[in-house]
Amino acid sequence: MVRYQETTTSDDPRRTFTLKMRQSDYDRLFYNAKRTGVSMSEYLVRGLQPPVEQLDPETIREILRELKHTNRQIVGEATNVNQIAHWANAHESFPAEAEELARQIRVQMKEINAVRRKLAKLL
């Protein structure tokens, strides 16, 4: 049974309540709070917080490898785009190679979005 009671000051949003529990539960609460160095109330409140998820280091390394690889490919493609733009300006035309390059860039964008989705799931 939980009974809620307002605190005496209006600027303090905390509430006081009475909690009835078995002696074994009380002992476990008392021990766990003391072990972590907080009050029993603080221990209970912390238990309400969502758990902190640990990220697997190998998963992070894999994602970083994918990002590094994708970054290297994008840097190479940026160089190609600059060369094609320079050639197109000099010859006033757009080579067929540009179509293939645009296709490769679209593939890279899909890969980047896939990595982004993986990161979003981890966070």
pLDDT of 12: 67
> Domain segments of the chain: what residues?
2-48, 57-122
| CA 114 vs CA 7, 111, 120: distances in Å | 51, 5, 10
- Cβ–Cβ under 8 Å, residues 19 and 2: yes
What's phi and psi for 111, nearest 5 deg?
Answer: -65, -40
pLDDT of 23: 93
pLDDT of 31: 93
pLDDT of 27: 93
Binned average pLDDT, 10 residues per bin, the chain of 123 residues: 57 79 92 92 87 77 82 79 78 71 80 79 68
How far apart CA 100 and CA 94 sit, in angstroms, is 12
| CA 36 vs CA 32, 43, 92, 116: distances in Å | 6, 8, 72, 37
pLDDT of 74: 80
